[in-house]
């Protein structure tokens, strides 16, 4: 048993290693450098010297640093400390933490459906009047509706993203003499033209995203439902007033399939139709730059997915047009997403911070740092850092734009972040639209 003497040190090292890895959550806090700030606009938030507000959200890495930088003026002028924590596990953890009595003061929800679950469970505090007034002033009624559950207003919108952009290479379009389409039919005609030209496939797509595989496909279908069937049907669909397998929805899926399930159209640079499922959503746009596909459908955050050094501009390497309407005379309808700020505590400092996040000051502070936009009407378009952000803000602030929140984020979790994704995967993998819609409908929670 000469080996015995090694056992103890090995076991001890193992135990120590286990203990060390035990908790290593990435705490936030501080970090952001503060410069001189004009505190006048912040007086209404009061003084909260020595008080701390804990904030929990899905936002991590560089985005989190930018967010904390945008919090800094509030901290400096009110004296409150913002303890920020971002986690990719937010969606599963927020419910657990609320149940365990360990909820943050402020939670930033990426999905209204998730927020509604928390509100219905009685965990969230209704928003104070000041926040409600700010939202009335700064946002359209649609946005306020997303923060309202059973007639009680809980959460103010914070930042936003615009979905449904179609990315393309302006130089390729110019060289080939292709025009940016203005209607859905023009887009199909253009696709045919590109396919016949033969140098590249018209479309490339990638829906792979680990256990969330399929979500870029839900964006596609939502865009088509909104454009083909209009906002009324879209609202009915999302709130389950019509079943998921309603003929209108199946029809919209089939219309999407004219592009996504067409071997002539996809999947530039990756293979056949089914390669959509094995292509990561962040890499899927690459063939646009390589000249292997002409168009790629993805939200405004695709701007961050291009390789470093790619110029995103109307005359740059890539640019984007909004997925066109089926009927140009009816105006533009767009889908998008955003974050909702809810409070688990109704302390004065938490309420003041919630109000700050709904204010025009915050929107301008954050948008200036780049990468995100907001639908806040108090947002100065000049705060936007890129052409694309400017275009997105203009779209969001245009009173003629019909805006609808990402449908899968509004649906119950069992559908919006499970069976709808899985349905898209099965559909691309060959299952007929009707069968997929039936299956998603049967997963809709009863009662």
Partner 1 sequence: MEFLGGKFLQVAIALAVFAALIGLIMLIVDRAPKSVKDKVTIVGFLAPAAILMLVGLVYPAVQTSFLAFTNASGQPNGVDNFVWMFTQPEALVTLRNTVIWTILVPLLSTGFGLAYAVFIDKARGEKALKALVFMPMAISFVGAGIIWKLVYDYRGPAIEQTGVINAVRVALGMDPKQFLLDAPENTIFLIIVMVWIQTGFAMVILSAAIKGVPMELVEAARLDGANPWQQFRNVTIPGIRGALVVVLTTITIATLKVFDIVRTMTAGNYETSVVANEMYTQAFRAGEPGRGAALALVLFLLVLPIVVYNARVLRQQREIR
Contact residues toward partner 1 (CB under 8 A) are 16, 19-20, 91-92, 95, 117, 120, 210-214, 267, 269-272, 274-275, 277-278, 412-414, 417-419, 422, 425-426, 429, 439, 442-443, 445-447
> Whole-number minimum distance, CB 15 to partner 1, in Å?
8
Closer CB to partner 1, residue 162 or residue 428?
428
> Whole-number minimum distance, CB 270 to partner 1, in Å?
6
> Whole-number minimum distance, CB 271 to partner 1, in Å?
3
Closer CB to partner 1, residue 6 or residue 40?
6
CA proximity to 76, closest of 115, 38, 20, 124:
38
Closer CB to partner 1, residue 276 or residue 360?
276
Tokens of 317: 């390497």
> Whole-number minimum distance, CB 262 to partner 1, in Å?
15
Closer CB to partner 1, residue 129 or residue 278?
278
Rounded Cα gap, residues 281 and 206, in angstroms: 5
SS (H, E, C) the chain: CCCHHHHHHHHHHHHHHHHHHCCCCCCCCCCCCCCCCCCHHHHHHCCCCCCEEEEEECCCHHHHHHHHHHHHHHHHHHCCEEEEEECCCHHHHHHHHHHCCCCCCEEEECCHHHHHHHHHCCCCECCCHHHHHHHHHHCCHHHHHHCEECCEECCEEEEEEECCEEEECHHHHHHHCCCCCCCHHHHHHHHHHHHHHCCCEEECCCCEECECCCHHHHHHHHHHHHHHHHHHHHHHHHCCCCCCCCHHHHHHHHHHHHHHCCCCCCCCCCCCCCHHHHCECCCCCHHHHHCCEEEEECCHHHHHCCCCCCCECCCCCEEEEECCCCCHHHCCEEEEEEEEEEECCCCHHHHHHHHHHCCHHHHHHHHCCCCCECCCCCCCHHHCCCHHHHHHHHHHHCCCCEEEECHHHHCCHHHHHHHHHHHHHHHHCCCCHHHHHHHHHHCCCCC
> Whole-number minimum distance, CB 95 to partner 1, in Å?
8
Closer CB to partner 1, residue 5 or residue 446?
446
> Whole-number minimum distance, CB 60 to partner 1, in Å?
19
Tokens of 421: 């994704």
> Whole-number minimum distance, CB 4 to partner 1, in Å?
18
> Whole-number minimum distance, CB 418 to partner 1, in Å?
4
Closer CB to partner 1, residue 240 or residue 345?
240
> Whole-number minimum distance, CB 92 to partner 1, in Å?
5
CA proximity to 347, closest of 128, 157, 152, 162:
128
Closer CB to partner 1, residue 316 or residue 445?
445
Rounded Cα gap, residues 202 and 167, in angstroms: 11
> Whole-number minimum distance, CB 269 to partner 1, in Å?
8
* Beta carbons within 8 Å of 116's beta carbon, 6+ residues apart: 149
Torsion of CA 158, 164, 168, 174, to 10 degrees: -110
* Sign of CA pseudo-dihedral 432, 435, 438, 443: negative
Closer CB to partner 1, residue 70 or residue 273?
273
Closer CB to partner 1, residue 113 or residue 181?
113
Closer CB to partner 1, residue 144 or residue 274?
274
> Whole-number minimum distance, CB 93 to partner 1, in Å?
9
């Amino acid at each position: 048993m000469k080996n015995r003497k090694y056992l103890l040190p090995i076991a001890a090292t193992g135990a120590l290693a286990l203990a060390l890895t035990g908790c290593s959550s990435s705490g936030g806090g501080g970090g952001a450098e503060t410069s001189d700030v004009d505190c006048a606009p912040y007086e209404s938030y009061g003084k909260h010297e020595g008080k701390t507000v804990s904030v929990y959200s899905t936002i991590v890495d560089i985005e989190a640093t930018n967010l904390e930088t945008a919090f800094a003026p509030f901290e400096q002028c009110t004296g409150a400390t913002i303890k920020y924590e971002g986690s990719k596990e937010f969606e599963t953890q927020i419910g657990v933490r609320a149940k365990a009595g360990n909820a943050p003061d402020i939670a930033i929800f990426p999905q209204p459906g998730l927020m509604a679950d928390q509100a219905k469970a009685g965990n969230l505090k209704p928003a104070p009047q000041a926040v409600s007034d700010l939202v009335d002033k700064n946002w359209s009624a649609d946005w306020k509706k997303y923060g309202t559950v059973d007639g009680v207003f809980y959460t103010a919108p914070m930042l936003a993203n615009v979905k449904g952009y179609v990315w393309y290479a302006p130089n390729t379009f110019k060289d080939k003499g292709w025009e940016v389409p203005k209607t859905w039919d023009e887009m199909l005609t253009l696709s045919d033209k590109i396919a016949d030209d033969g140098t590249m496939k018209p479309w490339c797509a990638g829906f792979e995203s680990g256990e969330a595989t399929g979500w870029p496909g839900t964006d596609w279908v939502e865009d088509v439902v909104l454009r083909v069937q209009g906002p009324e049907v879209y609202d009915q669909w999302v709130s389950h007033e019509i079943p998921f397998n309603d003929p209108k929805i199946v029809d919209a899926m089939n219309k999407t399939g004219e592009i996504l399930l067409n071997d002539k159209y996809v999947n530039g640079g990756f293979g056949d139709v089914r390669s959509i499922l094995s292509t990561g959503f962040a890499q899927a746009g690459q063939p646009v730059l390589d000249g292997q596909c002409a168009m790629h459908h993805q939200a405004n955050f695709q701007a961050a997915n291009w390789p470093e050094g790619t110029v995103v501009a109307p005359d740059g390497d890539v640019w984007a047009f909004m997925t066109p309407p089926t009927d140009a005379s009816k105006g533009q309808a767009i889908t998008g997403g955003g974050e909702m700020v809810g409070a688990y505590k109704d302390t004065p400092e938490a309420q003041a911070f919630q109000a700050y996040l709904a204010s025009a000051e915050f929107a301008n502070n954050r948008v200036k740092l780049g990468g995100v936009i907001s639908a806040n009407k108090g947002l100065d378009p000049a705060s936007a850092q890129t052409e694309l952000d400017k275009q997105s803000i203009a779209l969001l602030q245009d009173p003629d734009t019909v805006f609808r929140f990402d449908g899968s984020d509004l649906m119950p979790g069992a559908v919006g972040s499970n069976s709808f994704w899985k349905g898209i995967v099965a559909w691309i993998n060959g299952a007929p639209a009707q069968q997929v819609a039936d299956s998603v409908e049967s997963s809709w929670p009863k009662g």
